[in-house]
């Protein structure tokens, strides 16, 4: 179908372009991108009426201020579709069981969002012929504010049943494709189908979005790369993503061939939501191990810095729609069904254990049946009294594994019933037909205990529904024969591996693989005193009643709004190709250093100071060999030959190392160990920038560091003259980071009375004398120049980490302190786009080397020396 703009869709919904807008749609909202001058000519004028002017336009705009709007995107729309009799078109209705619809209903009931507007983008369960696409799209937009994504049957099958269900879904539930029978092996064609479908969804969103106003909320693993397509089109799009499935540990996730593509795509969202901390922790671990990103807590929020953008992590389990559950409990048919079940079970003096699960390999139905069999074997007193009712919903996937689960379950039910059944008593009742929702609620009402033994599940709301049903209402109380004042009770046995388990602290938590433990839990639930059942139920009901789907959705949108507050204040631009695309967001005053501007300033100035960091600046951090190449030394010598330059290498290395590395750089100034030692020229003596301190504190610090080195594989200690460094660059990143935090606290404690500071840096912890910093070098140099009655008119300072920020601060304030010429050109430049006191940045050490090589060539040209070739920068890096 040909792509259409949102304005065209609304005209279509309104029956053309000439009528009044539909009341249900309100005033026609045109995406902000369309209203930009020059895009749509008719919108650039006052409408041709003459004399309206800006005031009239302003009045009209203010009287029709757009409502807050959220575009909810998911694999499937919250819509049920059916063919009219005789093939005369389609009939649509809301799917009351859909979480997406419950989000809308509950948010509109929220006092802060009564007027929130919603648009849904997603697919339909049914295939719609291409000839009917326009008619169906109009019908859905007009009646339901839904925008359907029509997928060819083959593409949808490869996308959903192929990549989603055969590869992502098993992997996220900890099933590795060790053989073709155990989940699908990675198939590049299925991945391409996944990418294509996500792109189709993005195109549909582009038809309806007003990027400066709307919020976009994407749901679940089917659309994990959608954020990249949206962010690529609108750099400042306000975008949230919620994953409803588990996120596996890094050991599992890293087996996925497209692991980085998915991670980077998710990081193009502003807010990423998970049901539990475990899922979020696994995601953060993957970001750290595979992308080198570190997270931090910002006033209670977990956040990742990703190319200047703050990506917030949200941890909150979804809740149930309380009003829907209560309305179903009030239905007359619910009461009738409860009465039937009371006669079937309670009147026969039987207790019901209830399981409600999809018939798939991760729900643990067979493990539950084995545990129930064990219960009847070990506790003969429950035979004839306890019945397990297992409601088996149809599986959402398909394939050999689903058939095997069904066959195994039927066989086990038959075996248990044959072994323990008797006339009038059937121990296990397996219900494998679709039940009406009111029927399921009736089973909840009567069940003595609810069993959820999934081996892995993203959330699972069955326990929440059960708690609300057991709370009941006055009508059900009369049917149950209890007074309204009777305190309600319920019992839950839940797997440790489902998302709702952490929030149900009163449940009996079990390892579903431990059959004996699950059988014991069933027995405990049946034997538990009534008073304790009441207390556990009260605790659960209080939580479920206050953490419903409305609370969850409102909390997510509040955090999304908070995260996106600074969008308009940041400069944004995209970098990277394909699924590696990302947006760089920086302070408006922070910009990339333009080489042309720097060279121009260099040519017209006569007294220059150049301060260069080494590791991470002239030499990449990842380089195995850290010593400079001959090309690097030649490049520095070229700069130093210019008598108008004072060039200093400011390093954390020991002075003996620098002497060894730069023996032939006569005019190169060197600063060692953060500037504690300083040498102006090769033939000069090393001097100290601060008074020499007693290093007896090393006798305290070194044994502590050795302890951590012995227990942290891959860590090392570097003993300098005035400092000592513990590095974990080659250790496991998570364990190394954890040990570094502990070591930092340990050292601060034992060195509290010593004149030293303990600093944590990138993959290291360092102890050094108080007051020593690279800023001292800058101050010392400026003082020396000032003593010689000179005023530099050019300063270039380049570094890559926190230790260089002190230099940036000193040189940027030097003009105000009268240490530089009033019209001095000052360039403080950091490596990489990140928060910094520097005004400029360059992307990586390769850019730095090319820049320095360019300045060296300019100096050589100015003094009649043949310059190095420009590709020497690449050679120097090697």
pLDDT in tens, 348-389: 899 999 999 998 889 999 999 999 999 999 999 999 999 999
| pLDDT of 253 strictly over 80 | yes
Residue 36, sorted as left (phi over 0), alpha (psi -120 to 50) or beta, turns out to be beta
Between CA 655 and CA 662 the distance in angstroms is 11
Between CA 712 and CA 279 the distance in angstroms is 26
- DSSP state for residue 794 in the 8-state scheme: E
Weakest-pLDDT range from 600-609, 676-685, 754-763: 676-685
Question: Residue 401: its pLDDT value, please?
Answer: 75
| pLDDT tens for each residue of 290-303 | 998 889 888 888 99
Distant-in-sequence, close-in-space partners of 319: CB < 8 Å, separation ≥ 6: 461, 464, 544, 547, 548, 549, 550, 551, 552
Half-sphere exposure of 333 (CA within 13 A, CB side): 9
Once rounded to an integer, what is the mean pLDDT over residues 772-800? 88
Tokens standing for residue 70: 């959220």
Weakest-pLDDT range from 82-96, 299-313, 486-500, 787-801: 82-96
> How many other C-beta atoms lie within 10 A of the C-beta of residue 624?
5
Question: Residue 399: its pLDDT value, please?
Answer: 66
| pLDDT tens for each residue of 758-772 | 998 888 999 988 888
Question: Residue 68: its pLDDT value, please?
Answer: 82
Question: Residue 643: its pLDDT value, please?
Answer: 87
Once rounded to an integer, what is the mean pLDDT over residues 812-817? 85
> How many other C-beta atoms lie within 10 A of the C-beta of residue 154?
9
Between CA 585 and CA 567 the distance in angstroms is 8
Q: What average pLDDT does the structure give for the chain?
A: 86
| Closest by CA position to 607, among listed 819, 366, 774 | 819
- Whether the Cβ atoms of residue 273 and residue 593 lie closer than 8 Å to each other: no
pLDDT grade for 870, boundaries at 50, 70 and 90? very low
Distant-in-sequence, close-in-space partners of 662: CB < 8 Å, separation ≥ 6: 628, 633, 636, 649, 668, 670, 682
Segment (H or E) for 650: strand 645-650
Weakest-pLDDT range from 16-30, 229-243, 730-744, 761-775: 16-30
Weakest-pLDDT range from 415-424, 687-696, 814-823: 687-696
The string of DSSP codes covering 296-314 is EEETTEEEEEETTEEEEEE
| pLDDT of 103 strictly over 90 | yes
Tokens standing for residue 634: 């030649």
Q: How many angstroms separate the Cα of 748 from the Cα of each of 661, 709, 757, 793?
A: 34, 17, 8, 42
| pLDDT of 667 strictly over 60 | yes
pLDDT grade for 462, boundaries at 50, 70 and 90? very high
| pLDDT tens for each residue of 123-178 | 998 889 999 999 999 999 999 999 999 999 999 999 999 999 989 999 999 988 87
Half-sphere exposure of 412 (CA within 13 A, CB side): 20
Between CA 271 and CA 242 the distance in angstroms is 8
- Whether the Cβ atoms of residue 183 and residue 172 lie closer than 8 Å to each other: no
- DSSP state for residue 624 in the 8-state scheme: S
- Per DSSP bridges, beta strands 449-452 and 492-495 are parallel
Residue 459, sorted as left (phi over 0), alpha (psi -120 to 50) or beta, turns out to be alpha
- Whether the Cβ atoms of residue 413 and residue 428 lie closer than 8 Å to each other: yes
Question: Residue 27: its pLDDT value, please?
Answer: 36
pLDDT grade for 26, boundaries at 50, 70 and 90? very low
pLDDT grade for 241, boundaries at 50, 70 and 90? very high
Question: Residue 48: its pLDDT value, please?
Answer: 39
| pLDDT of 2 strictly over 60 | no
Between CA 760 and CA 333 the distance in angstroms is 66
- Whether the Cβ atoms of residue 508 and residue 521 lie closer than 8 Å to each other: yes
Distant-in-sequence, close-in-space partners of 816: CB < 8 Å, separation ≥ 6: none
| Closest by CA position to 358, among listed 165, 219, 176, 160 | 165
| pLDDT of 54 strictly over 90 | no
Give the best-scoring range by mean pLDDT among 29-43, 97-111, 233-247: 233-247
Weakest-pLDDT range from 47-51, 231-235, 310-314: 47-51
Tokens standing for residue 536: 């556990």
| pLDDT tens for each residue of 444-455 | 999 999 999 999
Cα angle value 256/260/266 (rounded, 5°)? 110
Question: Residue 693: its pLDDT value, please?
Answer: 62
Give the best-scoring range by mean pLDDT among 115-119, 512-516, 810-814, 851-855: 512-516
Question: Residue 47: its pLDDT value, please?
Answer: 39
| pLDDT of 660 strictly over 90 | no
Segment (H or E) for 105: helix 99-108
Question: Residue 632: its pLDDT value, please?
Answer: 87
pLDDT grade for 559, boundaries at 50, 70 and 90? very high
Between CA 93 and CA 81 the distance in angstroms is 7
Q: What is the CA radius of gyration of the chain?
A: 34
Burial class of residue 17, CB neighbours in 10 A (0-12, 13-18, 19+): exposed
Burial class of residue 744, CB neighbours in 10 A (0-12, 13-18, 19+): middle
Question: Residue 169: its pLDDT value, please?
Answer: 92
C-alpha 282: how far from its chain's center? 10
- DSSP state for residue 457 in the 8-state scheme: B
Between CA 573 and CA 596 the distance in angstroms is 21
Between CA 746 and CA 705 the distance in angstroms is 10
Percent of the chain with pLDDT over 70: 89
Q: How many angstroms separate the Cα of 397 from the Cα of each of 15, 183, 392?
A: 39, 12, 14
Once rounded to an integer, what is the mean pLDDT over residues 597-606? 92
Phi and psi at 359, nearest 5°, equal: -85, 75
> How many residues does this entry show for the chain?
878
| pLDDT tens for each residue of 711-739 | 999 999 999 888 899 999 889 888 998 99
Segment (H or E) for 582: strand 582-586
- Whether the Cβ atoms of residue 128 and residue 136 lie closer than 8 Å to each other: yes
pLDDT grade for 55, boundaries at 50, 70 and 90? very low
Percent of the chain with pLDDT over 90: 56
C-alpha 28: how far from its chain's center? 34
- Whether the Cβ atoms of residue 470 and residue 489 lie closer than 8 Å to each other: yes
Of the two residues 506 and 674, the one the predictor is more confident about is 506
Q: What is the 3-state secondary structure (H, E, C) of 520-531?
A: HHHHHHHHCCHH
pLDDT grade for 400, boundaries at 50, 70 and 90? confident
The string of DSSP codes covering 40-93 is SGGGGSS-S-SS-HHHHHHHHHHHTPPPPEEEEEEEE-SEEEEEPGGG--EEEE
Phi and psi at 857, nearest 5°, equal: -65, -40
Q: What is the 3-state secondary structure (H, E, C) of 801-861?
A: CHHHHHHHHHHHCCCCCCCCCCCCEEEEEEECCCCCCCCEEECCHHHHHHHHHHHHHHHHH
Weakest-pLDDT range from 183-192, 410-419, 549-558: 183-192
Question: Residue 114: its pLDDT value, please?
Answer: 80
Cα angle value 249/255/261 (rounded, 5°)? 90
Query: Virtual CA dihedral for 858, 861, 866, 867, nearest 10 degrees?
Result: 10
Between CA 747 and CA 765 the distance in angstroms is 10
- Whether the Cβ atoms of residue 137 and residue 221 lie closer than 8 Å to each other: no
| pLDDT of 411 strictly over 80 | yes
- DSSP state for residue 498 in the 8-state scheme: B
pLDDT grade for 181, boundaries at 50, 70 and 90? low
| pLDDT of 392 strictly over 90 | yes
275: three-class secondary structure by DSSP: coil
| pLDDT tens for each residue of 622-650 | 777 778 888 888 889 888 888 889 999 98
Question: Residue 877: its pLDDT value, please?
Answer: 35
């Amino acid at each position: 179908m040909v792509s259409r703009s949102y304005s065209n869709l609304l005209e279509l919904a309104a029956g053309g372009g000439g009528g009044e807008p539909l009341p249900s749609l309100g005033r026609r909202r045109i995406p902000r991108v369309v209203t930009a001058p020059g895009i749509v000519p008719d919108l650039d004028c006052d409408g041709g009426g003459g004399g309206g002017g800006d005031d009239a336009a302003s009045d009209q705009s203010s009287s029709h201020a757009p409502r807050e709007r959220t575009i909810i995107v998911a694999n499937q729309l919250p819509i049920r579709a059916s063919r009219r009799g005789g093939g005369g078109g389609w009939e649509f209705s809301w799917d009351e069981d859909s979480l997406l619809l419950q989000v809308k209903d509950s948010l509109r009931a929220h006092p802060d969002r009564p007027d929130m507007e919603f648009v849904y983008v997603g697919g339909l369960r049914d295939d719609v012929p291409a000839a009917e696409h326009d008619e169906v799209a109009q019908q859905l937009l007009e009646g339901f504010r839904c925008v359907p994504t029509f997928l060819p049957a083959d593409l949808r099958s490869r996308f959903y049943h192929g990549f989603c269900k055969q590869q992502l879904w098993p992997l996220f539930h900890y099933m590795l494709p060790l053989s073709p029978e155990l989940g699908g092996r990675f198939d590049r064609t299925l991945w391409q189908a996944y990418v294509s479908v996500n792109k189709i969804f993005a195109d549909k969103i582009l038809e309806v979005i007003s990027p400066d106003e709307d919020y976009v909320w994407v749901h679940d693993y089917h659309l994990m790369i959608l954020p990249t397509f949206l962010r690529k089109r609108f750099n400042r799009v306000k975008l949230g993503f919620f994953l409803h499935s588990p996120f596996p540990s890094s050991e599992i996730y890293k087996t996925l061939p497209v692991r980085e593509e998915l991670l980077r795509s998710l990081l193009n969202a502003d807010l990423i939501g998970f049901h539990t901390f475990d899922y979020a922790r696994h995601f953060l671990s993957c970001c750290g191990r595979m992308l080198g990103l570190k997270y931090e807590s910002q006033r209670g929020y977990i956040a990742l810095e990703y190319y200047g953008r703050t990506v917030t992590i949200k941890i909150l389990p979804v809740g149930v729609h309380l009003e829907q559950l209560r309305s179903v409990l009030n239905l007359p048919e619910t009461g009738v069904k409860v009465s039937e079940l009371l006669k079937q079970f309670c009147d026969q003096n039987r207790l019901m254990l209830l399981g409600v699960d999809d018939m798939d390999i991760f729900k643990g139905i067979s493990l539950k049946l084995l545990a129930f069999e064990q219960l009847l074997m070990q506790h003969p007193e429950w035979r004839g009294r306890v019945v397990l009712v297992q409601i088996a919903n149809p599986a959402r996937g398909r394939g050999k594994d689903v058939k095997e689960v069904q066959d195994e379950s039927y066989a086990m039910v038959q075996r248990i019933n044959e072994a323990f059944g008797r006339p009038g008593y059937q121990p296990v009742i397996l219900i494998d037909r679709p039940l009406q929702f009111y029927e399921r609620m009736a089973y909840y009402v009567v069940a003595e205990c609810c069993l959820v033994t999934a081996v892995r599940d993203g959330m699972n709301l069955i326990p929440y529904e059960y708690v609300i049903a057991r709370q009941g209402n006055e009508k059900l109380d009369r049917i149950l024969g209890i007074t309204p004042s009777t305190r309600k009770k319920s019992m839950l046995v839940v797997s440790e591996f489902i998302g709702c388990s952490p929030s149900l602290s009163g449940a009996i938590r079990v390892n579903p693989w431990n059959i004996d433990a699950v059988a014991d839990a069933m027995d405990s639930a049946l034997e538990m005193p009534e008073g304790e059942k009441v207390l556990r139920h009260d605790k659960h009901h209080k939580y479920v009643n206050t953490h419903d789907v409305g609370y969850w959705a409102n909390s997510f949108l509040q955090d999304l709004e908070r995260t996106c507050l600074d969008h308009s204040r940041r400069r944004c631009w995209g970098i990277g190709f394909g699924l590696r695309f990302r947006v760089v967001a920086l302070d408006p005053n922070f910009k990339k250093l333009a080489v042309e501007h720097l060279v121009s300033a260099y040519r017209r100035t006569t007294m220059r100071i150049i301060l260069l960091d080494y590791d991470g600046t002239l030499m990449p951090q990842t380089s195995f060999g850290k010593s400079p190449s001959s090309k690097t030394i030649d490049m520095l010598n070229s700069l130093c030959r210019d008598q108008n330059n004072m060039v200093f290498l400011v390093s954390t290395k020991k002075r003996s190392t620098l002497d060894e590395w730069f023996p032939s750089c006569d005019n190169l100034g060197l600063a060692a160990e953060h500037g504690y030692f300083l040498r102006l020229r090769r033939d000069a003596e090393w001097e100290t920038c601060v008074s020499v301190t007693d290093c007896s504190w090393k006798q305290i610090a070194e044994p502590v560091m050795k302890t951590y080195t012995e227990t942290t594989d891959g860590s090392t200690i570097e003993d300098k003259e005035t400092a000592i460094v513990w590095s974990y660059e080659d250790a496991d990143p998570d364990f190394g980071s954890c040990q570094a935090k502990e070591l930092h606290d340990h050292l601060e404690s034992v060195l509290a009375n010593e004149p030293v500071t303990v600093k944590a840096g990138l993959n290291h912890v360092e102890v050094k004398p108080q007051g020593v910093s690279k800023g001292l070098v800058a101050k010392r140099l400026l003082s020396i120049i000032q003593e010689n009655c000179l005023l530099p008119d050019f300063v270039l300072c380049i570094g890559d980490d926190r230790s260089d920020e002190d230099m940036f601060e000193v040189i940027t304030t030097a003009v105000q302190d009268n240490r530089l010429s009033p019209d001095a050109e000052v360039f403080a430049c950091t490596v990489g786009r990140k928060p910094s006191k520097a005004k400029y940045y360059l992307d990586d050490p390769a850019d730095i080397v090319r820049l320095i090589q360019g300045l060296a060539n300019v100096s050589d040209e100015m003094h009649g020396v043949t310059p190095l070739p420009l590709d020497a920068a690449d050679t120097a890096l090697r």
